[in-house]
Every structure is written in structure tokens, then in C-alpha cells.
Amino acid sequence: MAATPEANYLYKLFDDTQFKAKMVVPYDDFLYHNPKQLDQLLSMHARRGKPVVIDKTAEHLHNEQQAIELKNKLDEHGLLDRAVVFDNTADETYFERHGVRHQYIEGYIWFYLSNADRPKPKDKTLSHKFLCMNSFSKEHRWAIISALHNQNLIDDVLWSYRDTAKYFPDNPYAHFDFVRPTYIDQPLDAQGNEVSQAQNFNQNLNLDDIYSRSEYTIVTETDFDEPHLSSCTEKSYLSLFYETLPIVVSVPGTVQMLKSQGFDVFDDVVDHAYDNETDHKKRFGMIIDEVKRLKEIHPNIEPNRHKFNRSHMTDRAYWQKQINNKLKSYRFD
């Protein structure tokens, strides 16, 4: 995880809210880059005896264990009753289950997109019907690439799979022993060294070119069959920013979340009925069936619809207002 730019820290939005004078801990930055300093910072705030804001808005929960670890960390420092966690998890279940105060914030848009000086979309130079990019290996990502091979769809997909570490021979959704790592374009830095996915994302290297080559993006989100992890990440947002139509491989309700945030998900073209299916195997099958159907459909999208999504996503004043409203309405009892 790359460090959060200073301009994007949550405390920058605290003016005129009840949190203006509260202590703020940029939790994930310290957890991943300097865990000893995280403990020192939490101990210092514990001694002050004041409420503390835990800023996790550059991430979301990936499983219940992370909620337990967060609870234990706060409890260890005597902060469980005096801390509130802000992050991108829209479902309160795990936080409530383990007694952690929590408020959902649209942090992925704020941190990664609304303030991003990234290249605008290029004119389409289509080479494939679909795009499907994968970095860290997960069961559902393995299954999607496997199913695309098994269903003879892979030649219509511009795809990548960077991670060679995890192998899923007993995948419950689909299995095919495909070649990995597989790259679309491997960006190089000024010294000719391979650039990591995180560097590529932060430095905006050639994403505009990659997205210009397809009409649809098969978005393999962070989570698929873990309950209570509703969240939209940059993966879904980038598919819209770069003017492709998303097919979202994620937990139920992810597409609905995009719609509730005001985005056009092109549901007059893409049948997102899979987004409502809670049975994971059925949802996976519905996604593959939709890819098969869309293979034969060339979308004729009014350019202003793409322009609206991009403008909405980069409207920093709008997203600041959304976050400020949540900061103002939160009850820190």
C-alpha cells in the first residue's frame, strides 16, 4: 500500500465540524509503513484522555479478522471507548459485532480519484471486447480468468494476472491452469525496471491506453464471497472514468452502491441482475452468462454519459461536501 498524500488526509476536511480539535491517527499509513510509530502514536493519544479519530479512509475491511485486529489494537491502548474509525466499508456488521465505533466515508473517490491528475481517456482503438486486469491473486479472480478460458471467451479479453504466488486447484467456481504472470503492457521506469501495480496506479502510467482498447471492463473487485464487506474501490471507479461499461465481480450490492453514489452504470446495456444474487455460485454463473451475451453487443453510448461519470467522479467540492455532511452528523457520544 502506497503512503497517502498529505493533501488527502481526512483531517483536512475537519474545519467547521465537531472533529476539528480531535486527535487523528492515519492508521493504515503507519500500520503498513511504521507499525512501531503507530503504537507510539496510539499510546500518546491514550495518555491525553481525549477522543481519537482513526483515519482508515484509504482502505476498507477485507475480512472479519481485520475488524478483530483493529478492535484489539484499540483495546490494547485503552482507546476502544474513545475512538471512531472512518473507512470505506459501507456495512457496519463487523464493527458493531466487535464494539468498534465506525463511520463509512467515500474515501476511495476522495483519495484516489477526485484529486488525481491522471490522463483523460483516449479515443477508442479497440483490440478486444473486454478488459480484465488482475494483480493480487484471489479465488474469484482466478475463477474469472479460468472461466473465460473454459468458455472460449479469453480471446475476446485483454487480460492480466500478475501474481504467481497463490494457486487455486480446488476453486469452487471455475479452474483452468492458465499462464501466469500474464501482463498487458509492463510499464518500465526511467531506469528500465519493471513498475509495480501500485506504482503504475499512483503514477498513472499507460492506464489511459489500456482502457482505450476495450468496450467493457470485467472488474474483479477486492472481495467476492466474504459477507458484510460492501465497498466500491478504485477498480470499479476507473472503469467508469476511462469510459468502459463495467461488469462487476464483487459482493452483492456493489453496482447498486455505484448507482446510489450517482454514477451511470449503463444498465440499459449491461444486465446487472447478478448484483442482487446472494448465492455466490449463482452470481458467478450469471456474470459469465452476461459476458457471453455482451460479446455480441456493440454499445452505442452517448458521449455525454461518459463525460458525466468522469465529471461527477472528479468533482472534488461535491465529494468534500458529502464527507463533511457525515462528519457533521456523526454523534460522538
* pLDDT tens for each residue of 173-214: 998 989 888 888 665 566 666 665 544 444 445 888 999 999
Determine the Cα–Cα distance for residues 147 and 249; give it in Å rounded to an integer.
13
- Residues with Cβ within 8 Å of 231's Cβ and at least 6 positions away in sequence, in order, are 60, 61, 88, 89, 90, 108, 222, 223, 254, 257
pLDDT for position 201? 45
DSSP summary character for residue 10: G
pLDDT mean across residues, the chain = 87
Determine the Cα–Cα distance for residues 97 and 94; give it in Å rounded to an integer.
5
* Exposed/middle/buried for residue 253 (C-beta within 10 Å: 0-12, 13-18, 19+): middle
pLDDT for position 188? 59
Determine the Cα–Cα distance for residues 43 and 51; give it in Å rounded to an integer.
13
Contact in structure between 171 and 146 (CB atoms under 8 Å): yes
In the chain, what is the straight-line distance between the N-terminal and C-terminal CA atoms, in Å?
Answer: 33
Query: What number of CA atoms fall less than 13 Å from residue 299's CA on the CB side?
Result: 27
Between residues 260 and 18, the one the model is more confident about: 260
Determine the Cα–Cα distance for residues 270 and 263; give it in Å rounded to an integer.
14
Return the closest-CA partner of residue 313 out of 255, 251, 219, 243.
243
- What is the mean pLDDT of the segment spanning 109-129? 81
Determine the Cα–Cα distance for residues 318 and 313; give it in Å rounded to an integer.
9
Determine the Cα–Cα distance for residues 139 and 223; give it in Å rounded to an integer.
9
Q: 228: phi > 0 → left, psi -120 to 50 → alpha, else beta; which?
A: left
Determine the Cα–Cα distance for residues 107 and 8; give it in Å rounded to an integer.
9
Query: What number of CA atoms fall less than 13 Å from residue 31's CA on the CB side?
Result: 15
Contact in structure between 90 and 53 (CB atoms under 8 Å): no
Residue 62 has pLDDT above 70, yes or no: yes
Tell me, yes or no, if the pTM score tops 0.85: yes
Return the closest-CA partner of residue 214 out of 258, 237, 184.
184
Contact in structure between 26 and 59 (CB atoms under 8 Å): no
Q: Which amino acid is at 131?
A: L
Residue 280 parent element (H or E): helix 280-294
What is the longest distance spanned by two Cα atoms in the chain?
63
Return the closest-CA partner of residue 121 out of 214, 203, 13, 247.
214
Q: What is the pLDDT of residues 83-117, one digit of tens each?
A: 999 989 988 999 999 999 999 988 888 777 766 56
